[in-house]
Amino acid sequence: MKPLRALYVDLNSFFASCEQQEEPRLRGKPVAVVPMVTDSTSVIAASYEAKKFGVKTGVRVGDAKRMCPGLILVAARHGPYVKYHHQVIEAVDSVIPVRSVCSIDEIACELTGTQQIEERGRELALRIKAALRERVGEFLKCSIGISSNFLLAKIACDMQKPDGFTVIRDDNRVEALSSLKLQDVPGIGPRMDRRLRERGVTTMSELLARDEQQMRALWGSVLGARYHGLLQGQWRDFEKPIPPKSIGHSNVLPPSERNHRDALAVGHKLLWKAAIRLRMAGMMARSLSLGISYMGYEFDERQSRFHETQDTGFLLKELNRLFAGSPMMKRPVKVAIVLGDFIPEEQHQFSFFENERRSLAYKAVDQINKRYGRDTIYAGSLHQRLKSAPTCIAFSRIPGLEEVDEEEG
């Protein structure tokens, strides 16, 4: 019998639950979190009261309103979500050490010693749920899965929602997995599902019957062999994170700001944020790309290359130079900034043309803002744009509290 080494925590309808925790008027009501309150956008997250009507992530808002009469639309506020995310981590960590933060609403913990006994794991799960109620809020619920590795534990989480607890052991693994669809396995999306079906695998039972070499052939890479081991219950630790190859931000301009002056100001704000992340990652950039989308679906992209740097002041000057070459007669609707071609800062080669003292000053600014709050110190050119291009959350990257704009909290 393989030991139960993995415990996985999955917050239920996280963004919608955060809104219900923040706003008592939303509790018990069907809620959809949206990027902006308009029928033309799509739902980011839905409360379980809304999910009962079929409303889920990706549904068009206009369709969601028809599916669920009385649906309450709430514009996403990323500040509270980041705040609750960090509170959730602290609550889980008060019960069992957090092994890995997998996304903004998913956390993995490793079970050791007597924790690998099923009843002990069940006790830990109940304590985690209690810690969330007491330290974060009663509307932040989670499903918890336990198994012999993190993939199976994550699958177990999805088997009982909301507020569930499921254990996949060696003796019930095949039965539990055979009841699933192929796309219920994390990492098997529509394209991989289609690939498997084209190769004669249409059910989980058929997938589980394949040996390691057959799985490698199905995936066309060593990843298939990895999936074989995981689905058979073998332990695999998390792989080391891959350093970022680029850091970027983009923003769709509101109609009143679709001109070059405002587009440049927003570009400054985006670059300021990207440079903070660059220094936090311990990397130095050797390229800056500017992309501008114009009315009529036209797109212009320009790039600057230079000696590796973390210097925000230098990067802002390069951005101004790139902007000066953009077509002034067209109306911009979206601005994108990307820093790339990284090297680790420990590999930095000193250049007589750079200002090392200014680079150190920007690091000091980062530390002050981290301690005393976002935008305690900022460039003068950003003064009129502090509320522009607010921080958004990708499930794969969670901003630190210091990255979130004050007005979003």
Question: Distance between CA 386 and CA 374 in Å, rounded?
Answer: 10
One-character DSSP codes across 332-353? EEEEEEEEES-EEGGGPPP-TT
**Positions of E strands within 47-193:** 72-75, 100-103, 106-110, 142-147, 165-167
Give the separation between CA 350 and CA 360, rounded to whole angstroms: 13
DSSP 246-262: EEEEEEEPPGGG-SHHH
Q: Render the burial of 12-47: b for 16+ CB within 10 Å, e for the rest.
A: bbbbbbbbbbbeeebeeebbbbbeeeeeeeebbbbb
- Could you tell me which residues come within 8 angstroms of residue 379 by beta carbon, excluding any fewer than 6 positions away? 268, 272, 312, 313, 316
From the list 19, 22, 23, 106, the catalytic residue is 106
Backbone angles phi, psi at 385, to 5 degrees: -125, 20
Preceding amide of 244 cis, omega within 30: no
CA pair distance 10, 12, nearest whole angstrom? 6
Q: How many residues does the chain have?
A: 409
CA distance 17 to 47: 7
Secondary structure of residue 235 in the 3-state scheme: coil
* Phi (first) and psi of residue 337, to 5 degrees: -125, 130
Residue type at 242? I
Residues paired with residue 142 on neighbouring β-strands, in sequence order: 11
Collapse the DSSP code of 43 into the 3-class scheme (helix H, G, I; strand E, B; otherwise coil) and give the result. Answer: coil
Distance in angstroms (rounded) separating the CA atoms of residues 226 and 154: 16
**Does 106 qualify as catalytic in the annotation?**
yes
**Sheet with 6-11: strands ordered across:** 100-103, 106-110, 6-11, 142-147, 165-167
Task: Give, for 288, the enclosing helix (H) or strand (E).
Answer: strand 283-294
Helices (H), 171-280: 173-178, 190-198, 204-208, 212-219, 222-231, 260-280
Active-site positions read 106
